[in-house]
Structure 1
């Protein structure tokens, strides 16, 4: 479910996606139906699902095990009963059936100990006799506890890393002439810091017993999104962007890491996890080294790595070759053919579910082999690999009919061809003419073979070859551009690119393949992600660069057009209100929106898209422009992504956070006598960064930073008390004005939003309007129109940065001009009610959003299902009048006063003002002890505890009275304060703070005003 933030800078909305308040059971079912409903992967209920192997003996099938190098880890992460059990009974251990989140979790103990504990727990003597589907309810409870006690958090396994060669303004960006485009490039360049990682601190190359990660000696880049590891061919597209960013050291690290993989396994695994070690991906290592050398001229490194490049190429020649007769002659070609016939661990449930109706284990294994082989291609999945069922008019492209190993793919063979050509060139660069001639001969020979099988002269295009039928697959796929990209054609034939592009037009009768947003990956709409209408960065780059290499003017002009269209489409999404500030892994050719289809949801800020965009910017920087391009009309609810944290991880997170909070509470209670700290769980579960979102008063507005009195407008304050001695010891505005008591007592909850300054100011003015009406003998009203809208104040106060912060003084100045009505989240009434969900939302799992997103919305008009909040000056749907009439009817202020920066001397003036006119707004410095809470005891008085840490921003509250209480021999004066953190905080949302000593600067930043009644 998708929810949206109302108050980014200048009120620009953006997306946050989340597993939300409906609870894990319903949400997971909805998610799965949404994600897999159009495929055969549908899972109709939340609970156990049919992803048990039902006692299949893997050894008896004669199928080689994956992860052979890590036998203990394999039992957990690759093919064992633990993996099977967690997936089968996943409602307690897997969020939304996402198998990958389990196999990416680190172990808290060595693998052998975890396995022994599992065997003891379930009395397992022989693995093949332990049938997962027959586990009792009590055993499932034990399994859930076992997972909690033995597995860490997937997202916390890797170490953050800022690349040493990252700079904010890369030199090559100067080649980008368009200022708007250059600014966007700078934004994308920052994302490299988010994707750069290092191995966990507890992991080295001397033996891995706790991680599914494959050890890498050097820093590396994860692909992003659900991929918390390097991905082989993704890395090449990232490297193109890294070179554009001037980060050649990072690219060299990438080359070294892949060389380690080749020297260890003989090839580069598909990704940096042990469960990928039986499949590779398109062989781009030679291209990666070639591009690095072209950018740096690092001849010594080239000499060092050439033997490794040969070793990888030998792997493909030995393990992925196939003999095909062409024109009566047997020739060697290459295909994707993974070395595993088992379910992929990262999508275990889907793979097992897919073949549940097939009884023969060997037939299941055949389909799993086809799936893994398609995954090795990087095109997982596409109609390229599927035998179409002509009798099924609704879903003719089912994965059960995969035939990957019957296809000889044009792109893989073009890459092998390119490997030969680049090896010849690089050997020549290091002075090895013998090797150079050897590879040049291989290139020339394979060039002819390649043409004979894949190129259809009368069509002017390359097709995949189906050796089962003995015919080419005469449909357009983005793979047809790879021969142009790798120069696997007669380069003196300058019209080759023109003929291919013209043939693309033949396939594009409905004008959807070549669109204003780019060129679709295929012409077939199969519901798989590597088909129409999706456009992937990799295929787009290979097509554009392949056409550019042709050298013809027509193609050069067409390349500029294609590059401009694709860049513009991505910028529109990046700049859109609903899908903005994100780079999507794929976009659609028919709408220019985030891509759809496939076995997982849309991924954002992935390295492939970032890399290809930056490479395109620099390559065509003098010719591209963003001009007046605005954001697209992206409907965010259609493009969910997976949440960051999940129930199994959050449960452990909760325990750790509460334990840490308890230590903090104990320290505070030992250090002072004025109040008793207790754990307020919603706050205890927040990270420091999330807690900071609650404090939205920008400095310098309190404390010693500003000693100058800044009076914006001085009032003639009514003073019926001639001196300070006339002021009572105790005062409560609710008691003096009982007809306004319920309004004064209203406890708001600002949610995870730093608009405390707007909430406190609007609440204070609401109180004062009620009191002013009483003074004039008018009747008070308690309907929605009587409340000043905090949300409108937060949205439209000049200088407001929305939920990131603002100034109460500016809010009171704004009240001179404009106010509209609007209640808190509970009433949801008035013109512009508060739409941000409270911090405290019920049970623990209902509070999961606190851990995963910035803002949540409630109320019928704020819901993602109907109308989203926006920055237009208009009332909510259903309100009885327009916003223009609201501004006339809702009282403004005729004068206000703010004291900013005084340390002392304001106490009595504040007291007199409260007694005469009602509540006042006060702001103060926040210290980390305040983020716990006080016991729900009226005798608690907040005093900053020793050694507490000051936070960056301050907090605004409403003061409604004062008093004093004895603490031992000391009489302690206090302010009575209404907070904006919900009724669960402090004394039902209220608290007391020491008075008269400018405690945490509360007497140095005060605002109030006179309503125009």
Structure 2
């Protein structure tokens, strides 16, 4: 382990010493609670991204003196905090060429290395330092995001921004060595969870440009990320889960999304508090309690469960979708940690394969063989638990109920993009029909066919899921359909750009004349992964504006 840490220090150029984490709720206590619950800012992410204008201890002393029914909390916050800065109001230009627009956007979305020393003292900014420049998605997303970055890199590659790709991967290696994993984003309030593990695919992308030594360079980081996802695998018992691992049978381990905390997400604090209240109330309606004390204890436990499910939903990147809801409709029935997601396990298969390749190139054949064995075992388990013969499609598995979920989502395309071809034999011919009948619309592929007020449901489509679906089809010799989806998506992106001057976070693929909606915040523009996937698809399929 010491050698791994030293190797990663060489990659990142930063010390291997652990970085202390202080989150906004810890800094500001009751002030944080009141600001979020009173909606001083319409978006809960605003306050957690603020920086103090003076030492935190002085702010909190004055808050203690002033708090009460007559306090003007909004004015107090304005007097004591700097609001987060967005470089420009919107990423609108007068350019008519979408490729040129994206080329110019890279500089707008780029952030320089940051070493935080705010007026408020150590830890007073939620932004975590990174050693190299990086690209942010845009809008309210003013920091690097884990899985977003892979799809952004696809476009950076087409723009010749190879050094930026390497810088971002080095930043992720630094985050792994510092915090033990890649957080959701480089904010203190994101450190308790990760996101879909695309780091191995980033390494593959860079190795395709710079050569095989890239695998060896990042082997220590790949291994440490794998250790994070497999925490508890040596002690979890059959039929149970521990952290992100689930043991389904003897020697049968798959993974779920997880967050180490069971508290409200700080960036969506009020929303989570309200959801957890409803979650607890609904479950307690059918219960009887011997005392008020017993009822209060149960309420606290149920609220904690709700917070954990909400946080795990955020870790999935699909925040939120009826995919995670027990009743298939309402967020207050969320049960993310009871579900084994097919996309997550396909990505972890890929991580195991890439580690095996890196070991092989490093001349350590025994470890290479061991990781290939792990990968092949995972592929068999994905087929056993996630191939739904009734649907003719890959779906998630509900391990708590020991049932396959009968939900068609774009996540079901991930195995076709990543699993070994022998594991997929005969399946694509069936799954293609399911995709066409349930998910394919005028503007591309739906996330799910369920219409809801959640942003990862119909009528929305998202760039990463277009890319994975197209990749899956192309790889399985459904090249005409892959190209058709690419054309639909690119035409939609360009049409919205020509109409608005923007590239958006998500799109309405059902009615291409309407904006995408749903979720906890307005649709954002910028936008990293849309830019990346659009450029890559235009290049791959020779699509012009």
**Structure 1-normalised TM-score?**
0.46
Range 225-234 or range 145-154, more displaced: 145-154
The answer to whether structure 1 residue 118 and structure 2 residue 63 are counterparts is yes
Q: Distance in 1 between matches of 2:170 and 2:122?
A: 20
The match for 1:304 is: 217
Contact 2:98 2:497 in 1 (8 A): no
Secondary structure in 1 matching 2:50:
coil
Q: Distance in 2 between matches of 1:382 and 1:114?
A: 39
Distance 1:418 1:340, change over 3 A: same
Q: Structure 2 matches for 1:736-747, cutoff 5 A?
A: none
Tell me if the contact between 2:222 and 2:351 (Cα under 8 Å) persists in the aligned partners: no
Does the alignment pair 1:86 with 2:35? yes
Match of 2:470 in 1: 544
Counterpart of 2:329 (choices 397, 406, 416) is 397
Deviations 1:493-523 (A, max 9, x none): 3x43332112324x43xxxx31221111111
- Paired with 2:257 and 2:57, the residues of 1 have a C-alpha distance of 34
For each residue in 1:462-518, what CA deviation from the matched residue of structure 2 results, as whole angstroms up to 9, or x when unmatched? Answer: 11011233211122100001111223552673x43332112324x43xxxx312211
- TM-fit CA distance, 1:444: 1.4
Cα shift at 1:286: 1.4
* Aligned 1:181-196 pairs, distance under 5 A: 183-196=97-110
**1:29-428 pair list within 5 angstroms:** 69-71=20-22, 73-76=24-27, 80-90=29-39, 94-96=40-42, 98-122=43-67, 135-137=68-70, 140-141=71-72, 143-155=73-85, 183-199=97-113, 203=117, 208-297=122-211, 299=213, 301-318=214-231, 319-325=243-249, 329=250, 331-356=252-277, 358=281, 360-388=299-327, 397-428=329-360
Q: 1:332 to 1:216 in 2, by over 3 A?
A: same
Partner of 2:12: none
Normalized against structure 2, the TM-score is what?
Answer: 0.84
Tell me how far 1:145 sits from its aligned partner.
4.2
1:749-790 Cα deviation digits (max 9, x unpaired): xxxxxxxxxxxxxxxxxxxxxxxxxxxxxxxxxxxxxxxxxx
Whole-angstrom CA distance in 2 between matches of 1:201 and 1:239: 24
Whole-Å separation in 2 of the counterparts to 1:558 and 1:144: 53
Aligned to 1:602: 523
CA shift for structure 1 position 347: 1.1
- CA–CA distance in structure 1, aligned partners of residues 469 and 389 of structure 2: 19
Distance 1:371 1:240 in 2: 30
* Cα distance change, pair 461–517 in 1 and its aligned pair in 2 (3 A): same
Kindly provide the CA deviation profile for residues 261-315 of structure 1, in whole angstroms up to 9, marking residues without a partner as x. 111111111111101111111111111111111112161x543321111001110
Partners of 1:75 and 1:82 within 8 A in 2: no
Change (3 A) 1:594 1:370: same
* 1:433/1:194 CA distance change after superposition, 3 Å: same
Paired position in structure 2 for 1:573: 496
Farther-moved stretch of structure 1 (481-490 vs 560-569): 481-490
Matches within 5 A, 1:953-972: none
Distance apart, 1:223 and its partner CA: 1.4
Alpha-carbon separation, structure 2, partners of 1:68 and 1:197? 21
Deviates more, 1:591-600 or 1:272-281: 591-600
Structure 2 unaligned runs (5+)? 1-17, 89-94, 232-242, 282-295
Listed as ranges, the matches of 1:633-652 within 5 Å are none
Distance 1:429 1:266 in 2: 24
Partner of 1:788: none
Matched residue SS, 2:85: helix
Find the counterpart in structure 1 of residue 450 from structure 2.
524
Per-residue CA distance 1:177-211 (angstroms, 9 max, x = gap):
xxx99x4222222111111012557539xx84331
Work out which of the residue numbers 412, 419, 425 in structure 2 matches 1:480. 412
- CA contact 2:115–2:130 (8 Å) conserved in 1: no
Q: Cα gap change, 1:438/1:108 in structure 2, threshold over 3 Å: closer, same or farther?
A: same
Deviation per CA, 1:895-944, whole angstroms, max 9, x where unpaired?
xxxxxxxxxxxxxxxxxxxxxxxxxxxxxxxxxxxxxxxxxxxxxxxxxx
**For residues 384 and 258 of structure 1, do their structure 2 counterparts lie closer, same or farther at Cα, with a shift above 3 Å needed?**
same
Within 1, Cα distance between the matches of 2:361 and 2:154? 21
User: Against the structure 1 CA distance between its residues 144 and 571, is the aligned structure 2 distance closer, same or farther, given a 3 Å change threshold?
Assistant: closer
Kindly provide the CA deviation profile for residues 404-423 of structure 1, in whole angstroms up to 9, marking residues without a partner as x: 11111111111111111122
3-state SS, counterpart of residue 246 of structure 2: strand
> Cα deviation per residue 1:622-641 (whole Å; 9 max; x = unaligned)?
xx244xxxxxxxxxxxxxxx
Q: What is residue 497 of structure 1 aligned with on the other side?
A: 428
Who is 1:442 aligned against? 374
Offset, 1:220:
1.3
Superposed displacement of residue 387, structure 1: 1.0
| Aligned twin of 1:612 | 533
Unaligned runs of 5+ in 1: 1-66, 123-134, 160-179, 389-395, 627-1013
Question: How far off its partner does 1:114 sit?
Answer: 3.2
Q: CA deviation at 1:570?
A: 1.2
For 2:53 and 2:455, how far apart are their aligned partners in 1? 36
What's the secondary structure of 1:155's corresponding residue? coil
Instruction: Give the superposition deviation at 1:100.
Output: 0.9
For the residues of structure 1 that align with 2:178 and 2:490, how far apart are their CA atoms? 39
* Structure 2 CA distance for aligned equivalents of residues 618 and 340 of structure 1: 42
Task: Provide, for residues 810-849 of structure 1, a one-character-per-residue CA deviation record: whole Å limited to 9, x for no partner.
Answer: xxxxxxxxxxxxxxxxxxxxxxxxxxxxxxxxxxxxxxxx
Residue 113 of structure 1: how far off its partner (Å): 3.9
Instruction: Indicate the RMSD between aligned Cα atoms, in angstroms.
Output: 2.5
Distance (whole Å) between structure 2 residues aligned to residue 458 and residue 197 of structure 1: 48
Q: Which residue in the other structure is 1:591 paired with?
A: 511
Size of the alignment, in residue pairs? Answer: 490
